Structure 1
Amino acid sequence: MKLAARIGQVTPSLTLAIDAKAKAMKRDGIDICSFSAGEPDFDTPEHIKNAAIEALKSGKTRYGPAAGEPQLRAAIAQKLQTDNQLSLQAENVVVTNGGKHSLFNIFLALVDPGDEVIIPAPFWVSYPEMVKLAGGTPVILPTTAESGYKITPEQLRSAITPQTKILVMNSPSNPTGMVYSPAEIRAIADVVVEKDILVVSDEIYEKLLYDGAEHLSIGAASPEAFARTIISNGFAKAYAMTGWRLGYAASGSPELIKAVTTLQSQSTSNVCTFAQFGAIAALEGSQDCVAHMLSAFTERRQAIYDMINAIPGLSCVKPNGAFYMFINIRQLGMSSLEFCDALLSEQQVALIPGIAFGADDHVRASYATDMTTIERGMERIATFVKSRL
């Protein structure tokens, strides 16, 4: 069977592949310390589950609007107005099957063959692949630990060509955990406006911030930036709702919202109806659950940061957001894939190779796991690294 040429351009997700391998080993009775998946280890809060259960019991089991339940779209718009200072209404929102799906829809709706999409590296694994599937060309803009894994306005300006259509922003970042300050966001926004390009802002980790870090949506930087910004967000990370597959896209452009809705109507139809009522409860209910999880992540972040930097041969920059450590393995003289394969085989610890994120001299560790796993896993990593030095 001859497959479509586009499939040959796409690389399977290494994060999902390694997570699946680690879970298979665990099912076989092997004691695995997994730092692979970007998935909170907490259960979804009870009030969110109960709202979905009640919706299910009350018959919310039928097809719904392709753009999402009106009550949820309104709740998301209210959240964007209140939390992010974005003047968006319910009609500016499309509910999607997870944050990933919102990004896929956005790129399909905007990108034509020949269009360039600027992606700062290290990047989330799916950005370049989605751009390729849409027929566009990913343009990778590298950063370093010294720059805090952030691009500068000058870097962005020099990378823009007549073919540039979109800049992808992800702050807080997966995999680095870096957060652009409000001043840095405004400076990037000035270039976006000056060069008249669009920006897709992935804000899925916006509620996971540390040490006084502040999240500013680039769409709130100025009215001109707002007109060029498309928001992608979801419920997976802040509310421990990864398996619920609930996200959204938001934009002040009626044409884009209509286009995304049309795409969705011909691909997935509506998002699971009763699950959307859980999302309404997440937004409109108490936010104590978010604070509780953030408190635990804060403790884990400090612990794993200290442990990693105490291992000779490893180093990492302290992140200000999300729940990842991006570990520099350059001193070991190994590729990230070699490192992760050997570590999983010899010490039963699962990390994600940095090559998946555009940085082959790094590996990613998710600290969305319990302290016992963190302590045991770091001991095993220390043993492994010592054997390689």
Structure 2
Amino acid sequence: MCEDDQDFAGRKGQIFCGVFDGHGPLGRDVARYVRDALPAKLSSSLALPPKTEEDAPSSDADLDSFDKSDSTSFSDTSDENRLLSSWRSAIVKAFEDVDEELSQHSGIDCICSGTTAVSVVRQGDHLIIANLGDSRAVLCARDSKDRPIPVQLTTDLKPDLPGEAERIMSCKGRVFAMEDEPDVPRLWLPDQDAPGLAMARAFGDFCLKNHGLICTPEVYHRKLTEKDDFLVLATDGIWDVLSNKEVVKIVSSAADRSKAAKQLVDKAVRAWRRKFPTSMVDDCAAVCLFLKPIVSSDDNSNTIIKPPNASTLSFTGSFRKAMGGGEAEEGPAVWRALEGVARVNSVVRLPRIGAVLSWRRRSVSLDQEDDVGQESSSKIA
């Protein structure tokens, strides 16, 4: 699922884009909830005035003073990165608040369902990218010979990354790959070979939140240059079958920017069917954010150029929408992960606790039992 919002957080020309890839029995519901809740939560956080005048940027030039030449993760809080650190704090808080609200949602059982998220906020020449899970953001830049080259801006947060694995094992979670798919590391409960989540960070999946799974995104910054053409946000269904270079080539060759995402998904679906003919096609969704203004001519041959901050968006909700030309499927989803037909399932199997009673319903039942017990005690007294 995809989301875009222009004039984001009340700032003219500021843009938010995101791609959300659900997994598990209610993954679609989780992805839809996060898609709707996260932009509003983040917009509220970013719209708040700085706590002190010292924290407020006097102009866009103040942002420039914090830039680095390439995409960098906000891992330090030095004085020179104070402003960008405030952005990171707002984004992390928004992600964690949405996850907390999701845990309290009475209509979505998220014990073994969740979603990834990769999003970007563009403010002028600045990109702030937040990544949670194994979706990816790739920038198309131009080399010295004006050839398109891919620049991967995010890290696929898999459970076997050293930092992720260390955190998971310190929380008694386990990380290993199954024999029939040795190249797919998974996150498992301490005492069950379940659920086998193929990522180290996600919204939802609360059965794993005490065992190393977190909802804290990695946040990156990129200062745009005249060499940067467009940004692609896409789910792992696309990156599993197409390389960064192939994706950049497909999007850059699109004659119509508004159809670039659909063409990308079309190519990914065909690649899935060619490479894995016996497997179910993984859901593919993409957003293409074109960073340079469109130059065209009117009837009088006068050049028309969009404002410098203008961007062109191309996005598709899923391969079903892209291939069918209509809206993505609605209503109850058939969860195919347990049927063993997908090449790489995000979740392998449900833990025993999820097959009988969700953590939320179990908690409610115990509370009701306590109330009955207290009432009986009162009557006896």
Task: Tell me which interval the TM-score lies in, with the shorter structure as reference length.
Answer: under 0.3
Q: Report which of the two structures shows the higher radius of gyration computed on alpha carbons.
A: 2
What is the TM-score normalised by the length of structure 1? 0.26
Bigger helix share: 1
What is the TM-score normalised by the length of structure 2? 0.26
